Structures are given as C-alpha cells and as structure tokens.
Amino acid sequence: MAKQGKELSRDLSSFQMEMIALGGTIGVGLFMGSAATIKWTGPSVLLAYMLAGLVLYIVMRALGEMLYVDPAVGSFANYASRYIHPLAGYLTVWANVFQWLTVGISETIAVGVYLDYWWPGIPSWVSAIVVLATLTAANLFTVKAYGRMESWFSLIKVVTIVFMIILGFLVILFGIGNHGHPLGFSNLWTHGQFFAGGFKGFMFALSIVMTSYQAIEIIGITAGEAANPQEAIVKSIKSIVARILIFYIGSIFVIITIYPWNQLDQVGSPFVETFARVGITAAAGIINFVMLTAAMSALNSGIFSSSRMLYTLALSKEISPRFLKLSKRRVPEISVLAISGGILLGIIINAILPLFWHGSSSVFVLVYSASTLPGMVPWFVILISQIRFRRANPGLLVDHPFKLWLSPWTNYFAIFSLVITLVFMVINQDTRIPLFIGLGFLVIMSLVYLMTHRKRG
C-alpha cells in the first residue's frame, strides 16, 4: 500500500499542509457569526469551543502517532482497514466522499451568491461552474499548484481573523470606534447566566461546535504527498490545533464581548460590524471577498481530499482500477474529474429543481447538514485504530517521538465525548433529521459492501 502511494507526487510542504487543514476547517460559518450556538448557551460557548478543541487535539495526536510510522495515501482509511476491519476502511472513504460532495456543492453555490454582490447580472450557477472548472484545473495541474492556491486562500482568512481580533481588542480596551470609551468585558455576564440554556443548551451548542472543526483530519490525507512526511507531520499537527483554537476562540470571545450575546441576531455579520465600527467603510465588501475565498478554499480542499479517497478505494480494489490512473504530473486525474463531475451534477440539479419543486431549497439544506455524521466517522476510526496500532506494534513505540499522551484513556475520553455529542444531536430537533440522513447513507454503503463481498466470496 505504501509503495503504491509513493507514486503520487510528494511536493507539499509543512506550511502548505497546515494551510490546507486551516482552509478546510475555518469556513464561512465563522465569518457569519455563530449565532445559533451562542443563542443556545450564551457566553459558555467559549467552553464548548475549548472542549471540542481538546477532543480534536487528541484525535490529531492519535493520527500523528500513526502517520509518523506510515504516512500513506488515504492514511486513516488505510488504518481503519488494517486495525479495525475492511468495512471500517470502506465506510471511512465513502463517508469522506459523501461529506465533501455535499459541502462542495453548497460551496460552489455559495460562490455564485457572493459574486452576485459585485456582478448581480450573472446567474449564480454560471459563476459556480466557472469557479469549479478553475479549481479542478488547479487540482489536475500539480499537487504543488493545489497546495500553493490553498495556502493563499487560507492566508486571506487567517489575516482577516487576526485583524478582526486585534480591532476587537482595540474597541474593548481603548474604546476605538466607541467614542474613546472602552467597552470592557461586562457583556460576558450582564445579559443573563453564563450557561444561558443550562446543560441541555450547552450540549446542543457543543454538537454544532464539534462539527465546525470537521476536515481538520485532512492533514492525514495530505501526508501521502508531503515532501518530508515525518518532519511535516510533527510540525503541522503541533501547530494546527493551537492555531484553529486561537482563531475560533479569539473570534467568538471578541464577538460576545463587543455585542450583547442575546442581541446578536440583530447584528447581522459580527465581522462586518466590527470592521465598520472602527471606520472601515468597505467592511461589507471586504468580508464578502473573504467569504468568497473561504468557499473556494473549502471546495478546493474537498476536491483534493475526496479524490484521494477514491484513489484509496481503487488501491483496495473496491472500485474500478481506472481511478488509479495518474497524469504525467502524478495526479490521480480520473478521481479528480469524478469528484468535480459529481459537484457539477449537484450544481445543475440545484439550478433546475426549484423550477419544478418549490420546497427543494430546504431539502438541499438537510442534505448539506447530513454530512455531520459521515464527517465524524474519520475521528472515531482514528481513535480506535490508534489503540489497536499500539497493541500490534509495541516495538515501534520505544523511540517514537510523537506519541499520544495517556493513551488509551485519552482515546476513551474523546470517543465518549463524540458519542454524547451525537446523542444530543438526536435529542435536538434541529439536528435530528440531518443526522439520520447521514446514518442512512452509512447503512446503505454497509449493505453495498456486504453484498459485493459476499459475491466475491
């Protein structure tokens, strides 16, 4: 498996790996504000982001421990097949493909909406197709070209977030934009309880916060094409979680400190308002541009990630060997074109369906939200695989420089946290149906696997 994986180009630097993971994780939702989570639990949403960050740090360290030894293409899907069961690896791959197809379709449509801000005369589906074609070409060219483009996309988001946090603290501490009167921190406790919605509200918020970190595991997929995998993996994982936590927690802290949390639904985008508050009159245009790049970044990451997962399926002979075909630049071109074709089909259906079915938009939102459970599958797989990896390879851990501390107890804590999150997603009527849609997809793919392997048997 590893030998075949080396046929792919290894041109990604550790910086590009970090930017790819940031690009997939920091999405449009952050820039529009986390109104739903703040509404459910109030200022304690900060604790929800911290707890979710701890769980994801455990997941990434568990992944890093295995990647250091075997930085294979498809990584955690391969580990699932090897250390759990081939069905687990199969489901992991299809869960990733399903997740990124739904996200990719929604992001291309979002791109059309954002471009409408400047060019209202162009149909959104036209601009969506143009952007999809551009990013597909970048993914087909070289992995280095993909990594460079994704780095720029992510850098734009990162700079905007850092700038917004700095501006926010200028308002809070020095009163800039507030007639010289520092706002202070009183908004954190003067508008109701810290846990505004009680334990249930906190858990409802945690379930949404947890899903906002989805795609952080994409580092495991990029490892198969990293220039110096061991060095890049250690450096990337050590820094990526801390950076994401700073960006998320820093942004949310500034938002709920500047604005009363129970009035955020009247603010619109807190990012736009924060920029406008200090006199940046072009705030709406700036944030629209940043959200445009955020959507393109997520789409770019999705094409890369899911195409490598199709390549992994072909390696394990679960789909046609044609998906193993590499271009002259050592890119799995058939896999890239297949994913882009699926996203294109989604764009076309989204453009045509409203002409015949007026309720189609709400169904699309459900399908997009259904990526939540499939998006969690890699986390469960990583945590369980790492426990069995240790049992199977005790000798490899003697001088291992990047071990997960307190394993397997940290694994059990993370698994328990994810299970409790899913339980409260079932309880919450806003997330129940999307969760069951994702579960239905996983059940169907399990049946497909069992039927195809029974025939082979």
In the predicted structure, residue 448 carries a pLDDT above the cut 90: yes
In the predicted structure, residue 216 carries a pLDDT above the cut 80: no
pLDDT at residue 77, as a whole number = 82
Eight-state DSSP code of residue 402: S
pLDDT at residue 233, as a whole number = 74
Reduced to 3 states (helix: H, G, I; strand: E, B; else coil), residue 59 is helix
Give residue 74's pLDDT band: very low, low, confident or very high (50, 70, 90).
Answer: low
DSSP string, 126-189: HHHHHHHHHHHHHHHH-HHHHHHHHHHHHHHHHHHHHHHHHHHHHHHHH-TTTTT---TTGGGT
Tell which residue, 404, 313, 419, 327, has the closest CA to residue 373: 419
Residue 20, burial from CB neighbour count under 10 angstroms (0-12, 13-18, 19+): buried
Matching CATH number, 2-456, of 3.40.190.10, 3.40.50.1820, 1.20.1740.10, 3.30.300.180: 1.20.1740.10
Least confident of 74-88, 263-277, 392-406, 435-449: 263-277
pLDDT at residue 393, as a whole number = 86
The encoded tokens of residue 433 equal 């149906």
pLDDT at residue 456, as a whole number = 65
Domain segments of the chain as ranges: 2-456
pLDDT in tens, 139-165: 888 777 777 887 888 888 888 888 888
pLDDT at residue 279, as a whole number = 77
pLDDT at residue 384, as a whole number = 96
pLDDT in tens, 57-72: 899 899 888 888 877 6
Give residue 35's pLDDT band: very low, low, confident or very high (50, 70, 90).
Answer: low
Q: Return the bridge partners of 226, or none.
A: 12
For residue 394, cis peptide bond before it (omega within 30 degrees of 0): no
Asked if residues 167 and 278 have their Cβ atoms less than 8 Å apart, the reply is yes
Least confident of 176-185, 220-229, 267-276, 448-457: 220-229
Give me the sign of the Cα torsion angle 394, 387, 441, 70. Answer: negative
Backbone angles phi, psi at 12, to 5 degrees: -90, 130
Rounded CA-CA distance 199/48 in Å is 11
pLDDT in tens, 320-361: 888 888 888 788 899 999 999 999 988 888 788 777 766 555
